[in-house]
Structure 1
């Protein structure tokens, strides 16, 4: 009897150990609606983020329909830290990703392009993972047929929290860990909704951030609608670090920015004021860049008719992450580099760069302000301004002066440029520029 009980306990421990080990297999990336120029069909990436190998032989990959099922082949083992792709079509996947070899498949179903589920079951039928997604906000809508994949941020986080996922880079990162996007040509500025009193219409800015010249003749600029196309004419070569503006009204741009000559146009479609895609295709009609912006927080809201553009701030980041963009200077910087401080953006401030020090800067959660000895005493007021000069919050005058990136109502402010203003008891005003960076 003791031997039977011992055997049962040993079996239960084995099963429990297998189930616990299975919990370190994450659905780390999936592609449910690829761009038509990179049509790999659907695929799912698994990642073993644990410290031990896991045998996933006879595990099942399913969507929301139980009859749609793919069984992982016998002998499929995920080593610690390893990634594995399950591809709907292994042949088309290999055409798009010829250097990715850790692939199994094919499977006979596709994931829904509007709302669906990616589910993973172990060999015993226990549900290991289930991601229930939609193609609209708050889920990363930049992955819905626009090129990027859906990539997880925290393997151990809530897999059904949209904030735990981002639209990755064009084509994704199948079979390996996510890396920041490395685009040679980027969209560095977007003006989708001009102010009524400075109606420069709509335009985008291209920037060659690579080290060499790139011939962009025949490249296409599109929005969310594949039928809306502007083709760049012959002879357009962007040298390293050069920029080019594409406008829907050369007359309006010439009126407001007569000195800007690196400009072409006109495109005959409009970018939506409520959020849209901006995509670049090369002369072979292969997608090279894609961003899906929005007019609501956490995207910079001052660009929605308030006289600002959205400027790419994190040059080597992911353009589909809102915190890589800021509302730049009033009316933007078409055709040129975004440089701070903005001309005439802040008035009546006596700047003294050597008197105030902010650490860290840029910051995400908390920034601490340090003062030179001569400015520690006799402070009468401390407050934060946004780039338009609007007061965000008054700060208490204490021995340690800090700001948690929230406004007077306790709401986290958008990524962007802010100013700490210090008023001493003689009326002098000192200012320090700080940059708020919301990671995701």
Structure 2
């Protein structure tokens, strides 16, 4: 939900539901609108959750337009429990991520910043997986140009449902386990954080907006407060009775009246019952 008197914050909530069976190949992460400071081009991560290597030669990736297609090259395999990236622009991708990441491409179309669909077909035209995402709730809104990617919280969950997607920490995790991965116990219920935790904000220092991720271990009535270096309250925002899991907010350097704040050091505090978590933020215009 979008909250705040002048919308200085955005909130993403992840709700835990039951585990689903994996498919042969899973669309596990999507970068559809990079941050200007980390322009890596559009890319899609495929994951093989099975026990056997899968030959994806001549498989096809499409968006929601059948005229837009990328044919995966001959000799392309994904080993068990491994990943491959399909990149719109290999040079941009490798300018921002390690050179040892397995990447194929380029594809000559872009993923929509206002919502789109990613579809994967096998070499005989059978649909193997698809994700129809949006840049508005209930989909995580931070992935639309703020830096994070769209991440599936567990590749065994139904990736057609927005509640199983979250925004990544920092700039995603191509070809590795997602940054907000939720494990499953033997009974098929998701493992939750052991305690309420305020995670490191990013980017920090920041000059536009800063993303502040946090974890909740139980249903909790929470609020976020921003203070300046003198201890004066800049913004107080109740964020409701959130469920357990991963959440994040984005602050654009705006006070309670909707006015921009000045350069300097600020402190963010996550207020949960009697326990407080705080950290320093540096704002540079």
Which TM-score bucket, shorter chain as reference?
A: 0.5 to 0.7
Q: Deviations over 1:247-282 (max 9, x none)?
A: 010110121124233001010011100111011000
Contact 1:205 1:245 in 2 (8 A): yes
Deviations 1:361-409 (A, max 9, x none): 638xxx986xxxxxxxxxxxxx95685465699xxxxxxx961477734
User: Residue 217 of structure 1 aligns with which residue?
Assistant: 57
The SS at the match of 1:323 is: helix
Give me the CA root mean square deviation: 3.8
For 2:128, which of 275, 288, 295 is the aligned residue?
288
Q: 1:271 to 1:392 in 2, by over 3 A?
A: closer
5 Å matches for 1:26-65? none
**Paired residue for 2:47?**
207
Structure of larger gyration radius = 1
User: Which residue number corresponds to residue 403 of structure 1?
Assistant: 220
CA contact (8 A) 1:387 1:417 kept: no
**Aligned pair in 2 of structure 1 residues 390, 201: CA closer, same or farther (>3 Å)?**
closer
Return 5+ residue gaps in structure 2 as ranges: 1-17, 182-189, 203-209, 225-236, 250-268, 280-285
Cα-to-partner distance string for 1:79-120 (whole Å, 9 max, x where unaligned)? xxxxxxxxxxxxxxxxxxxxxxxxxxxxxxxxxxxxxxxxxx
* Residue among 229, 246, 262 paired with 1:416: 246
**Residue in 1 that maps onto 2:78:** 238
**Does the CA-based 8 Å contact 2:101-2:174 persist in structure 1?**
no
Structure 1 equivalent of residue 262 of structure 2:
none
Distance 1:251 1:235, change over 3 A: same
Cα distance, 1:179 vs structure 2: 8.7
Q: Residue in 1 aligned with 2:107?
A: 267
Q: Specify the alignment match of 2:229 in structure 1.
A: none
SS in 2 for 1:206: strand
What residue in structure 1 maps to residue 159 of structure 2? 319
User: Contact 1:260 / 1:334 at 8 angstroms: preserved in 2?
Assistant: no
3-state SS, counterpart of residue 129 of structure 2:
strand
1:301 partnered with 2:131: no
Instruction: Assess, with a 3 A threshold, how the Cα gap between structure 1 residues 221 and 405 changes in structure 2: closer, same or farther.
Output: farther
- Normalising by structure 2, what TM-score? 0.63
* Contact residue 254 and residue 260 of structure 1 kept, 8 A: no
Match of 1:276 in 2: 116
Q: Given that residues 119 and 131 in structure 2 are in contact (C-alpha distance below 8 angstroms), is that contact kept between their aligned partners in structure 1?
A: yes
Q: Distance in 2 between matches of 1:262 and 1:291?
A: 22
Instruction: Give the direction of change, closer, same or farther, for the CA distance of 1:405–1:221 in structure 2 (3 Å limit).
Output: farther
For the residues of structure 1 that align with 2:195 and 2:103, how far apart are their CA atoms? Answer: 42
How far apart, in 2, do the equivalents of 1:336 and 1:305 lie?
A: 22
Bigger RCO (CA 8 Å, 6+ sep): 2
Q: Is the 8 A contact 1:368 1:402 kept in 2?
A: no
More helix as a share of residues: 1
Q: Tell me if the contact between 1:260 and 1:335 (Cα under 8 Å) persists in the aligned partners.
A: no
- Inter-CA distance 385–402: structure 2 relative to 1 (3 Å threshold): farther
What SS class does the counterpart of residue 251 from structure 1 fall into?
A: helix
Is contact 1:274–1:294 with CA below 8 Å preserved after alignment?
yes
Aligned counterparts, 1:303-382, within 5 A: 303-339=143-179, 362=192
- The answer to which of 181-190 and 405-414 deviates more is 405-414
**CA shift in 2, pair 1:251/1:413, >3 Å:** farther
User: TM-score if structure 1 supplies the norm length?
Assistant: 0.42
Q: Deviations over 1:305-357 (max 9, x none)?
A: 0011011113221112112111112111112222469xxxxxxxxxxxxxxxx
